[in-house]
């Protein structure tokens, strides 16, 4: 059985996925060392690339950094320097039911692009599973984090890949998709994930801003899990 591939951003969710894949959890993968894949897409918070490298090194994993430039078409505060990253609205994230629509931190087609590239890498490296840390409960409301998207993509990929035609489709694993952020934090602690190495803030910099959607969601998760955020002690 091939080793799992993990789309590793260096954030909380992808790092917990890395811990699960390394342990053989979250699916049918065996416990062989995962292949970590990080996308350098021109993101504002480029510090996450350093975090991803540290997490991959923690697991002794091969780490591929794939450069793709998503800045050319704009349309997102994460890739367009002219668009400011907004604060969470009155402490509520955009993913909350009463806080509005999809925020400007949504990057058009990002997970569609990431999963497409990851599938190509998985086929080339004979990986059976692609882990991605999407979540559809405590999240910012991005459409490409929903179970419907993942199921549809997996079915389409099976039609597009040689492995799929041969009856060995690459599976998309989303072990966190139905978990709250607090449950993800608890799972990270349980699996020994290096949460102290992770980065979540959309604004980048030397310290998390504490006010963007991602920072607020992270703080909410740690608080509800009753766990101190070890990354803040760095």
Can you give the residue ranges of every domain in the chain?
5-233
- Position 101 scores a pLDDT of 78
- Position 157 scores a pLDDT of 96
- Position 142 scores a pLDDT of 85
- Position 67 scores a pLDDT of 97
For 52-106, write each residue's pLDDT tens digit. Answer: 999 999 999 999 999 999 988 888 999 998 999 999 875 454 544 344 578 899 9
For 195-217, write each residue's pLDDT tens digit. Answer: 999 999 999 888 999 999 999 99
- pLDDT of 131 > 80? The answer is yes
CATH superfamily, domain 5-233, is HUPs (3.40.50.620)
Could you tell me where the beta strands, DSSP code E, fall in the chain? 5-7, 35-40, 62-67, 129-131, 171-173
Residues 6+ apart with CB under 8 A from 59: 18, 22, 33, 34, 36
Query: In the β-sheet with 129-131, what is the strand arrangement from edge to edge?
Result: 62-67, 35-40, 5-7, 129-131, 171-173
- Mean per-residue pLDDT, 2-30: 85
């Amino acid at each position: 059985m091939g080793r799992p591939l993990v789309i590793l951003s260096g954030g909380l969710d992808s790092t917990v996925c890395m811990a699960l894949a390394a342990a053989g959890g979250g699916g049918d993968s065996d416990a062989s060392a995962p292949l970590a894949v990080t996308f350098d897409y021109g993101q504002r918070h480029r510090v996450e690339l350093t975090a991803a490298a540290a997490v991959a090194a923690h697991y002794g994993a091969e780490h591929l950094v794939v450069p793709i430039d998503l800045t050319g078409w704009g349309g997102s505060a994460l890739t367009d320097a002219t668009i400011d990253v907004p604060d969470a609205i009155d402490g509520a994230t955009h993913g909350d039911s009463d806080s509005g629509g999809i925020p400007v931190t949504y990057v058009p087609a990002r997970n569609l692009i990431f999963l497409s590239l990851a599938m190509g890498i998985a086929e080339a490296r004979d990986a059976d599973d692609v882990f991605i840390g999407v979540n559809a409960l405590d999240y910012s409301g991005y459409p490409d984090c929903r179970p419907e998207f993942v199921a549809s993509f997996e079915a389409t990929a099976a039609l597009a890949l040689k492995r799929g035609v041969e009856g060995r489709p690459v599976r998309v694993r989303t072990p966190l998709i139905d978990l709250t952020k607090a449950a993800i934090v608890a799972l990270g602690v349980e699996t020994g994930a290096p949460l102290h190495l992770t980065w979540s803030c959309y604004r980048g910099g030397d310290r998390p801003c504490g006010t963007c959607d991602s920072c607020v969601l992270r703080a909410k998760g740690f608080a509800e899990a009753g766990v101190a955020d070890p990354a803040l002690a760095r």
